[in-house]
Each structure stands twice: as C-alpha cells, then as structure tokens.
C-alpha cells in the first residue's frame, strides 16, 4: 500500500527533535558519500498576466539508508508591496491554497511508499536548519533571541532554538502589531519565556545572542549596523542572505555543504541554492524568470558542517565573533530524510490514508 499523509498527520507525529536528528544524519551521510542530492531546479513560465509567473520547483535526494524523495511545488508567483515592504506571494488555483508534495520511494524495491503534503514538513526542516546552525555556531550561553517575523517560520525556529540552547528571552518585531503581540503571547506560554514586543525593528538587536530574520520579504530585513558582538545570525528570505552590512561584519560562516557534482562531470557542480530554467513571452521581460540564487557567500570565512563534525575545523572561535549559518544547496537531502521519518511515524501511529500501490504501476516498460 502507498500512504497519503497530510499536514495534520505530520503535525501530530513529527517533532523538532526528530527533524533535527534526521537532518544531521543526512548531512553526515552526504559527507561520507552515502547520500546524494541535487540543487533545487525551477521552471519559470510567464502567464497571461504580466505581473505573475508560473513556477514549478523540484529538489530530490536519497541515501543508502533506504529512502529516496522528490519534493514538487506548483506555484503562481508575484510580488506585493506594502509601504516599504516587498514580499513574494504565491498560490495554487486561488490565493490561500498551495500545492507542495513529497513523493517518497524505496531504494530497495522502487516502490512508491508515500505522498506527503509538504507544508508542515517544510517549516520543520527550515526551522531545524536554524537550530542546527545555533547548535554549532551560537555562544554556549546564548539565551536571548531577537526575531524579525511572526509567522510559521518564526514558530518553527523558536522550537528549534529551544532544543539546543536555554532560551530565556524573546524580542520580537513584525510589521503587523496584532501578529507580533499574538506570537509573543504564544511563545511566552509555550516556552515560559520573557517576551518583549518591539515597536521598532532595531529594538530586537539589543542584547540579543541570536538574531533571526524569518520573513517572506523579497529584500533583506536584517540591518547589520545594529548587530552586537557575539551574536549568531539566522536568515530566511530576503534574497537568501543577510544585508550587505551584516555580511561585512560576519567573522565565521557555517555552510552545511553543497550537493555533489554529477558523476564524472565535475564541471557541472554548482554551489547555487537553486537554478532556474525559463521561458519568455515576447515583449515581457521577467527578472523573476532569470533569477539565480547565491552560492558560497563568504569563502574566506567559511567552515562546513563536515569539517566541524570531523574535528578538522571549529565553528565559533570566541564569544565576540559574529557568526552566520545557512544550509547550502542540500534541500534534496533534507526531504528524503525527514519524509522518511514522517512515513515511519505515520505507519506506527496508523495515520494517513492507504491506497493500492498497484495504481502507480504498469506492465509496459518505461
């Protein structure tokens, strides 16, 4: 049988501890050559509406541990401006609905094991990356989080941060006052934290050991002039990396790693987080369609997770350094690991819907 596992099922069974453990194991397997993945590849096609773009995205990977997965997204994408804030918005069929699926297969039999909604798992795996970065790069005594953003990614990251550090205080700002107040109240109740609701973004930096920009902004939201010595930076959105001032102040940069080059074709190896193939409508130029994500950002200040785990290099070298962590282009290696764990947990709990695997098979050779 093939299992259909929805977001509600994933939310019931998958913990942040499970997610972080699965990812660290996957990154270790990559370093050993026992796992493989490729960078995310997007296909971008202009729609009849010149302000909107169709984007199909996939990322995939697998391991000798038994699983392979491909994550697929089908989005209508556009930008939206509210005051000084520019965000990337997306939907499938209509605003508020989205299509993201993970197909999990067995490397031993080729069997399609599960189809899983990616919404909750997506937040969990990104939050877990933030937690892994804090685990290896933040000060050991880090206890104050300064956060920009109050949505799903903010919640996932707070859960991850509390797994690896004794967090005592949260300083939160997001553009909508009601949202930041609601988020702050929830975090205070969930984790027993002291919470400061900030009316200005610059206030979140004061005394913070971990600075987290967790928004859907299309431009950087962090402001490096406010960073204090010894802080660790986590950044989501804003073009994929912090602002230029923050980057100039980073002393030590943790990049988890890079997807390997194709076998026998080292020249095809890239460090870009994703690559876009694009179609163009005559007379309509689309910067979105030609966008290419950054690769290795600070090579002269970089350390990899494999180097830290092997003991050949260390992360933070002292409590005054400003550090930053990011995953690299290893998304494909995340989804087989976390989806595989979610599948195991769902089967144990008998959650999800089962359909005949035979529906996916045929007697004509492909």
The answer to whether 230 touches 139, Cβ cutoff 8 Å, is yes
Q: Vertex 305, ends 319 and 239: CA angle to 5°?
A: 85
Whether residue 44 is contained in a domain is answered as: no
Q: Which pLDDT value is given to residue 289? A: 44
Taking every pair of Cα atoms in the chain, the longest distance, rounded to a whole number of angstroms, is 65
Whether residue 360 is contained in a domain is answered as: no
* Cα–Cα distance, 105 to 206 (Å, whole number): 47
Whether residue 207 is contained in a domain is answered as: yes
Tell me how far CA of residue 91 lies from CA of 1, 129, 156, in angstroms: 31, 25, 21
Place of tokens 């993201």: 100
Q: Where are the alpha helices (DSSP H) in 33-78?
A: none
The residues, ordered by sequence, that sit 6+ positions from 194 with a Cβ below 8 Å of its Cβ are 168, 169, 170, 188
The answer to whether 259 touches 239, Cβ cutoff 8 Å, is no
Question: At 267, phi and psi to the nearest 5?
Answer: -70, -15
Whether residue 304 is contained in a domain is answered as: yes
Place of tokens 């392979």: 68
Whether residue 281 is contained in a domain is answered as: no
Q: Which pLDDT value is given to residue 290? A: 45
Containing domain of residue 322, as a range?
141-256+295-327
Residue among 212, 158, 211 nearest 183 (CA): 158
Place of tokens 């941060």: 161
Q: What is the pLDDT along the chain (366 residues), one digit of tens a residue?
A: 999 999 999 999 999 999 999 999 999 999 999 999 999 999 999 999 999 999 999 999 999 999 999 999 999 999 888 777 778 899 999 999 999 999 999 999 999 999 999 999 999 999 999 999 999 999 999 999 999 999 999 999 999 999 999 999 999 999 999 999 999 999 999 999 999 999 999 999 999 999 999 987 777 889 999 999 999 999 987 667 899 999 999 999 999 999 999 999 999 898 888 899 999 887 665 554 445 567 788 999 999 999 999 999 999 999 999 999 999 999 999 999 999 999 999 999 999 999 999 999 999 998
Tell me how far CA of residue 204 lies from CA of 87, 168, 198, 256, in angstroms: 21, 14, 7, 27
Residue among 106, 53, 107, 50 nearest 75 (CA): 53
**What is the number of structural domains in the chain?**
1
Rg over alpha carbons for the chain, rounded to the nearest Å, is: 21
Count Cβ atoms within 10 A of the Cβ of residue 103 and give its class: 0-12 exposed, 13-18 middle, 19 or more buried. Answer: buried
Whether residue 264 is contained in a domain is answered as: no
Whether residue 5 is contained in a domain is answered as: no
302-304 and 99-106 beta bridge pairing = unpaired
SS3 21: helix
Whether residue 52 is contained in a domain is answered as: no
The enclosing domain of 219 has a CATH number of 3.40.50.720
The answer to whether 141 touches 207, Cβ cutoff 8 Å, is no
């Amino acid at each position: 049988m093939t299992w259909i596992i929805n977001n509600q099922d994933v939310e019931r069974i998958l913990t942040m501890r499970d997610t972080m453990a699965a990812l660290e194991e996957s990154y270790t397997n990559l370093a050993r050559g026992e796992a493989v993945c490729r960078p995310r590849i997007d296909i971008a096609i202009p729609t009849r509406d010149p302000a909107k773009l169709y984007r199909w995205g996939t990322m995939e990977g697998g391991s000798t541990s038994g699983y392979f997965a491909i994550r697929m997204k089908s989005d209508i994408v556009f930008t939206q401006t509210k005051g000084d804030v520019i965000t990337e918005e997306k939907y499938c069929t209509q605003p508020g609905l989205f299509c993201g699926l993970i197909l999990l297969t067995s490397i031993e039999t080729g069997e399609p094991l599960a189809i899983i909604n990616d919404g909750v798992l997506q937040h969990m795996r990104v939050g877990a990356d933030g937690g892994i970065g804090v685990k290896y790069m933040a000060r050991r005594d880090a206890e104050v989080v300064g956060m920009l953003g109050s949505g799903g990614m903010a919640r996932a990251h707070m859960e991850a941060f509390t797994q690896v550090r004794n967090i005592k205080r949260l300083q939160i700002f997001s553009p909508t006052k009601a949202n930041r107040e609601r988020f702050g109240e929830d975090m205070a109740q969930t984790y027993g934290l002291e919470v400061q609701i900030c009316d200005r973004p610059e206030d979140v930096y004061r005394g913070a050991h971990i600075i987290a920009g967790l928004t859907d902004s299309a431009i950087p939201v962090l402001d490096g002039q406010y960073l204090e010595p010894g802080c660790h930076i986590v950044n989501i959105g804003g073009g994929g990396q912090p602002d230029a001032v923050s980057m100039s102040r980073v002393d030590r940069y943790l990049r988890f790693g890079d997807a390997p080059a194709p076998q026998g074709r080292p020249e095809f190896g890239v460090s870009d987080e994703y690559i876009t193939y694009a179609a163009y409508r005559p007379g309509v130029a689309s910067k979105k369609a030609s966008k290419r994500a950054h690769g290795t950002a600070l090579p002269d200040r970089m350390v990899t997770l494999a180097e830290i785990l092997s003991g050949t290099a260390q992360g933070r070298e002292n409590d005054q350094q400003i550090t930053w962590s990011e995953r690299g282009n290893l998304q494909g290696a995340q989804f087989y690991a976390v989806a595989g764990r979610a599948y195991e947990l769902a089967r144990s709990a008998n959650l999800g819907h089962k359909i005949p695997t035979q529906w996916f098979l045929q007697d004509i050779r492909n």
